[in-house]
Chains A and B, each alone.
Chain A
Amino acid sequence: MVGHHRQWPITDDLATLRENIQRYARGAGLTGTRLDDLVIAVNEAAINVLEHGGGTGTISMWHEAGTLAVDVVDEAGLLRPGAVPGERPAGQSDRGYGLWLMGVLCDDVDIEQVPGCSRIRLSIRLPAPGPSSNGSASAEADDKAGESGEATGGFEPAVAAPPALDDSAGRVR
C-alpha cells in the first residue's frame, strides 16, 4: 500500500520545507538519526536545485512497502545519472559535496534525467512497526495536522505507483 502523496514546490523557504519533510517522515514512522538523515539529505537536494538546478523545482514524497521515498525534480536537467560521488569531494563548495552527503545519509540515491529536468530520488527504509506501536494510522493523522504552505498537487489519493517523470518529453536512458 502506498502512503499518500505530498508535494511541495522548492523555494528559498527551506525552514518550512524541512518542517513538511519532517512531519511527513515522522508520521510514516521515521525517528531519531534516520529522521535527521532524511531531513539533512532532502535539504541538501533542495539547496542543489536553488544553487545549480535552475532555482525552481518540486519535491514529492510517499511511502510504500517499508520505504520512504522523496523525489526532488529540478527544471534545469543538468544533473546526470551516476553523479553521486563514492568518495567525499575535497571541497565543500561543489555540487558533488551535497550529492555525496545524500549518498551517505540515504539507503539509496537514484538520478534520472529527461530533457528539461533531472530527478533525484532519495530512499530510506522505514523501521518495522513495533507490536506496541500505537498507530500506523499516525502517518495519516500526523500529516493532516497543521498543514501549511503546502501545494495540493495533482497526486492525491490511490497512487498505484510512484510517479515517473513526465514521459511526454521523451525519456533519455
Chain B
Amino acid sequence: MTAAVVLNSLPVPGDAAGQVLCVALTGALDFTNAERLGHDVEALLGPEHRGLVLDMSGVEFCDSTGIRVLLVVRKLVQEHGGGVALAGLNARLTRIFRVTGLIHAFTVTAGPQEAAEAVRTRSPSA
C-alpha cells in the first residue's frame, strides 16, 4: 500500500476570519490511499471554511482514483458555498488533469498564495 499522503495545515495570510483552509499535501495519491486522503481532508474542513487550497507541490503522483477523491472534496466545499484551488501541480499531475479535462473543475495556480486569493475572491461572503 502506498504511504498515506501527509497533510500539513498552513496559515493563510490576510485571512483573519479563517474562512480559507490551506493544506499542503506530500506523497503519492493513488488507488490504495486516496480514500483515506478524502477522509483526512474532510476531517480538517470546518463549517467556517468557505474555500479550500490544496498545495500539491509535494505530490509526485495522482491517478484517476485520486482525482475522483478530489472531486468529492470539491463537492463538499461547494456545498459550503466555496471553491477549491490547487497549487503547484507538477508536470505529471498537470498531464492527467489536462487529459481528463478535470483541470477545468478546479482553480489551478502556481503557488498557494495565488490559490488562496482565488478562492477568497470567489467566496460570496468575502
Contact = CB atoms under 8 A, between A and B. Distances in A.
Interface of A: 12-15, 18, 32-33, 36-37, 39-40, 43-44, 47, 50-51, 88, 92-93, 97-98, 101, 104-105
B1 A39 contact: no
B33 to A, nearest CB: 9
Interface stretch (B39-47, B79-87, B91-99): B91-99
A98 B1 contact: no
A14 B64 contact: no
Contacts of B96: 40, 101
A43 B60 CA distance: 14
Interface residues of B, number: 21
A63 B114 CA distance: 44
B64 A33 contact: no
B21 to A, nearest CB: 24
Interface of B: 1-3, 28, 30-32, 61, 63-65, 67-68, 71, 91-92, 95-96, 99-101
A18 B100 contact: no
B61 A98 contact: no
Of the candidates B3, B28, B63, the one having the most CB atoms from chain A within 10 angstroms of its own CB is B63
20 contacts: A12-B1, A13-B1, A14-B2, A15-B61, A18-B28, A18-B61, A32-B91, A36-B91, A36-B95, A39-B92, A40-B92, A43-B63, A44-B63, A44-B64, A47-B31, A50-B31, A92-B100, A98-B64, A101-B64, A105-B99
Contacts of A36: 91-92, 95
A147 B65 CA distance: 28
Given A15-B3, A92-B71, A47 B91 contact: no
A163 B31 CA distance: 28
Given A15-B3, A36-B92, A93-B68, A43 B30 contact: yes
